[in-house]
Chain A
Amino acid sequence: MESSKEQHLFETETCLIILNVAFDQYNASLLNYFFFFFLPRLMTFILEIKRSSGLRFRRVLNETPVSVLRLPRGPEPNSRGFDPTSPRFIALCPTTLPSSSSSSGSADEEEQRLRAELRERFLRTLLLMTGKRVRFDMHEHVRVHARFGASDIDVLNLQVCDLETPLGVQREALLRSQDVIACSFEV
């Protein structure tokens, strides 16, 4: 390393001497300067860079970085967050219904009872649908047939098999519940 530095120094000095002589002897032009001084130094510099980066590249190649699906989402610039449509917010937040007096209390209870009954009916329908050939009516006049498998806990997605689409029969598919308007099947 030291010897090459010395060599460079020697080269530089030689170049400078030549240049000085050249200035005196010839019409020193920029072209002369370029070829006799600048270019050799540039070539050496480039070669050194190539050599050192080559080593680094080889070491990096031995270890593969773990791949990442995406980066964590950052804060929104105009909002403080705490999305009210997130499942956690909806589940854990106190209801915004006004506190009821005793007279309307029973009306609320009746409504709650009816809601519970409808929910139970819906869940039982889902249970009955499993394994059956169901017709899904979706947005944009899309009507497909498939064999219903299951839905997820929040009924956001419906898992189906043998979904008949204009492109062919999809062996396994996931339908987004918000796209489905109605589903009908033979009991």
Chain B
Amino acid sequence: MAMRQTPLTCSGHTRPVVDLAFSGITPYGYFLISACKDGKPMLRQGDTGDWIGTFLGHKGAVWGATLNKEATKAATAAADFTAKVWDAVTGDEVLTLAHKHIVKSVNFTEDSTCLLTGGNDKVLRIYDLGKPEAEPLEIAGHTSAIKKALWCNNDQQILSAADDRTVRLWDKNTKEAVKTLAFDASVSSMEYIPDGEILVITYGRTIAFYNANSLDLIKAVDAPASIHSASLHPEKDFFVAGGDDFKLYKYDYTTKEEMESYKGHFGPIHCVRFSPDGELYASGSEDGTLRLWQTAVGKTYGLWKCVLPENLDGKYNTAI
């Protein structure tokens, strides 16, 4: 019996959702934070999409949001020239880090002690969260606005993607660019998979996979439309991508074949991420909604319920 995917729509945002991030798996499940142009990032329960709280305080569009592994801290990057660190349990603002321009990306280290920020001022900054008054470590080199900055290789190196169509690998200690990748089109998104050291980069209509240490190309796939974001399944079986044509595409990672495409959003998809257990993926769109999609359609998980074929036929009506 063929099952049709039922996406779960998480409403609440009033403007486009531009970034989303999952936490690691905690004893209380896993969590999802969404960054929105309405300036109010929201924290949600990862497996059900239930709203938990809204981080109030930013005075401009929030361009980037992230959670630490234990989902105890959250960080957001906004157009009001600040990056803020929040307590993800109480929702209180813990720290405000002033910048000289719009901040686009934030990322915690694995132990949540340092925060990496990058934005339109073209400089990467590393803040020590134990000493917030101290000056941050600055890494300059990009020639235009930084779109995404990530820690990689055990938090010893930094990957950054900018509007100058390059992706650079920096060493944290020497503050020098170890490697640079140049592209024909602006890089729209970047995802780092620590287990396997894979980097997922999207530009134009291409979704490319690179080795995060050597920045060697592993494989590249072309999609039917311009792609804004892609995410690789934790088990590296498949990846999902979404872009301008409002559809989500699911590809087999090994064969690079398109497996499925899903319609549902009413606007271009800005961000797509797999959950840490790989059971679902979330997509954020210009239409202001987040949608949760099942990886294994029909499986009982979260709010989705598996219905046995007998019950559908109506032959067996007796209750157990």
Contacts and interface: CB of A to CB of B under 8 A. Distances in A.
Which one of A62, A72, A80 has the highest number of Cβ atoms from chain B below 10 Å of its Cβ? A72
B297 interface: yes
Interface residues of A, number: 26
Interface in A82-101: 82-84, 86-89, 92-93
A68 B90 contact: no
Which size bracket describes the interface of B in this complex?
35 or more
Contact of B305 (A68, A81, A89): A68
Contacts of B2: 62-64
A64 B89 contact: no
Contacts, number: 93
Contacts of A65: 3-6
Given A65-B6, A68-B305, A72-B8, A82 B28 contact: no
B72 A73 contact: no
B91 A66 contact: no
A74 interface: yes
Interface string B3-16: 11110111110000
B162 to A, nearest CB: 34
A75 B51 contact: yes
A6 to B, nearest CB: 35
A70 interface: yes
A25 interface: no
B157 to A, nearest CB: 31
Contacts of A64: 1-4, 307, 312
Contact of A89 (B3, B89, B304): B89
A66 B304 contact: yes
Contacts of B49: 72
A81 B6 contact: no
B24 interface: no
B91 A80 contact: yes
Which one of A62, A66, A87, A88 has the highest number of Cβ atoms from chain B below 10 Å of its Cβ? A66
A67 interface: yes
Interface of B: 1-6, 8-12, 28, 42-44, 48-56, 72, 89-91, 292, 294, 297-298, 303-307, 312
30 contacts: A63-B2, A63-B3, A63-B4, A64-B3, A66-B4, A66-B297, A66-B298, A66-B307, A68-B8, A68-B304, A69-B305, A71-B8, A71-B9, A71-B303, A72-B9, A72-B49, A72-B51, A72-B303, A73-B50, A80-B53, A80-B91, A81-B43, A81-B51, A81-B52, A81-B91, A82-B53, A82-B91, A83-B52, A87-B28, A93-B89
